[in-house]
Structure 1
Amino acid sequence: MALEVEPAPVRPARQGQGPVWDDGAGELLWVDAAGWIRWAQVGPAGAVRDLAVRPVGEPVGAVALTTAPGWLLAAGSGFRRLSPDGEVGVLLDLDGPGRMCGGACDRAGRFLAGVTGLPETRGVGAVHRVDVDGVVSIALADLEEPAAIAWSPDDDVLYLADSGARTVTAYDYDPDLGTADRPRVLLDFPMDEPAIPSGLTVDGAGHLWVSLTGGGQVRRYSSAGRPEEVLRVPATQPTGCTFVGPALDVLVVTTAVEGLSDVDRAVQPDAGRLFTAHVPDVAGRGTFRYRGPLRGLTAA
C-alpha cells in the first residue's frame, strides 16, 4: 500500500532531521543540521506552520525535550543547553573528532545520542547515554553513523538506524538500567542501492517507520522486519519522521536539500521542507523528556 504526503507551508531547511513532538506545547521541533533549531505549530487537524528558529552556532544533530527550562542538544563536539531566551551553553565536549548525530530520550528520562567519526575512521561511531544524574557514558560502540534511535512500545527493544552501515539493528533494552545488548540486524540495505536509513520512529502498535535518504520514501515495517507500507516523498532525501498532533495520527517527515545538484533542486522544489501524511488507523507513541540536569554534565 502506497500513501501520499503533502508539503507543509514552512521554510525549507538545508539539512532537516530529528523531528520531535512536544505534546504539552502542541509544537513540533526539528533540527537543521547546519546549525539551527526549528519550531512549528501543529493544529488540531494536523496543519503545520512556522513558529520560530534559533541559531546554535555550530552543527547540531538532535534536540531533546527536558523537564527543566530549555532544551538539550547533541551539537558541535558534544552536548549543549539551549535556554528559553536562545542562549547556547556548553555542557560537555566529547573526546576525539566526530559529528553528533540523532538522539532520543527513553522512558526513564535518559538521552541517548549518536556520534560518528571522520569519513576515514569507519567503525568508531558510538551512542552516548546522558543519565539523569548528568553522567555521560558510552552505551553502544563500534558503529559507523548512528543516525536515529527509537524504542518498542514496551520499551524493552531499542532500534538503531546506522546510516553508515545501512542497517537498522534491534537490541534488547533494559529501561531500568539503560543498557542494550543482544544486537540483531533487522534491516540491511544493499550498498549498491541509493536508499540509506536515516530516520526512525515506532508507532503505538510496534511498527517501525524508516525514512530512506536517497530513496525518496518512508517505509513501514513490522517488528520482525517485514515491509508493510510505503510513503512516497517528492524529495529524494527524507531524513527523519515522527507522529504529531493531538491524536498522534499525522506523520511528519523532514527532508534535506544539502548535497543536491542544481538540476535536482529544480525538479524537487520542496526539498528541505516538512511533509505530512494522515495515516489511517495508526497512532504514534509521543515523546519522552530528559529528566536530568542542564548543567554540569560529566564524563564517566
Structure 2
Amino acid sequence: MSYKVETVLKDAVSTIGESPHWDDATQTLLYVDILKGDIHRYDPANGKVDVLHLDGGVGFVLPRKKGGLLAGFGQAFVSVDWETKTVTKLAEVDLGSNIKLNDGKCDARGRVWAGTLDWQLTPHKGSLYCLDIDGSVSKQDENFTIANGMAWSPDNKTMYFIDTTPREVYAYDYDIDTGKISNRRLVVNFNDIPELCSKDVMGPDGMTIDTEGNLWVACLQGGCVAKIEPQTGKLLQKVDIPDAKRITSVCWGGKNLDELYVTTLKMHPTRATFPVIDSLDGSLFRVTGLGAHGTPAEMYRG
C-alpha cells in the first residue's frame, strides 16, 4: 500500500520531541520537547504552534476533563493551566531518587498510566505507575530500564507496554473496571525481527494501536515506524521516514483519525551519543494513506 510522508514542522523541537496526543475535541496535536520543558499545541487548520514553557523536564502531556492539561513533570503528575501558566502538583513518585516520569497515556476510563526511568538510564530502575481518577497513585510493575510506549487493545482486555533497552514489547491482561494488570508476557522482541534487529536500531520507543489491534511502534534510530501484529510478533509493514532516524513516538490524528503523526528526537545536549545526524531529526511528520485508523484518545478524568 502506498503511503505519503509529509514534514509538517521542520525543527519542531530542539531536544527530544515526544508524547504526541491528538485532542479530538479541538482538532489539535499536543506534544512535548522533553529537555527544553516545552509543551506544544499544533493546529493543522492554520499551521499555528503555541508553546508553553515549564521550568524543568516534561515527559508527557494530556488534556484534562476538568480543563487544562495533565503533564508528567520531573517526578510529579501536575495540572497545567495554559492561560495562567499555573502548574499545580497532584501527586509524586520515587521521591528522593534520580527517577523521572517518561511516557504517559490514558486508558479508556480516563486513568493516567506513566512509566519512569533513571536520568542515567541505570538498568532496572524504572517502574510503571497509574494515576487514578481519585488522585491516588499506585505502582503497577517495576524493574524496567526505559519505560516507554503503551496502548490498549480495542476490546480493552490487553494492555501493551514497551521497555526500550531490552528492545521488548510486553502484554498484560487488563481489567478495565479495576484498572489492574496481570500476567505480563513478551509479545514482540525486536531482536527476532530481521528488519529491526540491527544494532543501529536502539529499540521500540512510543507506540499506538489501530482499530484492528495492530501496534504501530516508533523505532528509535531506525528511521521508521513498524506496524506489528502483537499476537504473532510479525512485522506487517515498515513505514520509512526519510531523512530522520530518531523516531520517538506516534499517534493517530485528523478528522477521521487516519493520519499518523510522528515525533522525533533532534539531539540530547548531555549525551555525545546523540549528535544531530539527519537533516530532519527533530521535525514533526504526518503519514497518510496507511489504510488504518485509530480511536479518539482519552483525557484524564480526575
Find the counterpart in structure 2 of residue 250 from structure 1.
Answer: 259
The one-letter amino acid paired with 1:179 is K
Question: Conserved in 2, the CA contact under 8 Å of 1:67 and 1:289?
Answer: yes
Report which stretch shifted further, 206-215 or 116-125: 116-125
Alpha carbon RMSD of aligned pairs, Å? 2.1
Structure 2 CA distance, aligned partners of 1:236 and 1:280? 20
The number of aligned residues is 287
CA shift, 1:259, in A, is 3.8
- Cα distance 1:53–1:181, how it changes in 2: closer, same or farther (>3 A)? same
Q: Is 1:177 equivalent to 2:178 in the alignment?
A: yes
Residue in structure 2 matched with residue 76 of structure 1 by the alignment? 74
1:1-300 alignment runs, 5 A limit: 3-9=3-9, 11-13=11-13, 14-34=15-35, 35-43=37-45, 49-85=47-83, 86-94=85-93, 95=95, 96-119=97-120, 121-190=122-191, 193-195=199-201, 196-224=203-231, 225-233=233-241, 234-259=243-268, 265=276, 268-292=278-302
* Displacement after TM superposition at 1:117 (Å): 2.4
Matched letter for residue 157 of structure 2: D
TM-score (norm 2): 0.89
SS in 2 for 1:177: coil
Deviation at 1:145? 1.2
Query: In the alignment, is the contact (CA less than 8 A) between 1:221 and 1:227 conserved in 2?
Result: yes
Q: Deviations over 1:124-159 (max 9, x none)?
A: 211110011110110121222111111111111111
Letter in 1 for 2:50: A
| Superposed displacement of residue 263, structure 1 | 11
| CA deviation after TM superposition for structure 1 residue 236, in Å | 0.7
The answer on whether the counterparts of 1:2 and 1:230 sit within 8 Å (CA) in structure 2 is no
* Equivalent AA in structure 2 for residue 197 of structure 1: P
Alpha-carbon offset, residue 262 of structure 1: 11
Taking only the aligned residue pairs, the percentage that are identical comes to 29
Query: Distance between the aligned counterparts of 1:286 and 1:87, measured in 2?
Result: 27
CA 1:181 to 1:152, structure 2 compared with 1: closer, same or farther past 3 Å?
Answer: same
The alpha-carbon deviation at position 56 of structure 1 amounts to 1.2
Structure 2 unmatched ranges of 5 or more: 192-196
Letter of the 1:7 counterpart: T
**CA distance in structure 1 between the partners assigned to 2:21 and 2:229 by the alignment:** 22
- Consecutive unaligned residues of structure 1, counting only runs of 5 or more, are 293-300
Point out 4+ residue stretches in structure 1 off by more than 6 angstroms.
260-264
Query: Quick check: 1:4–1:232 contact (8 Å CA) kept in 2?
Result: no
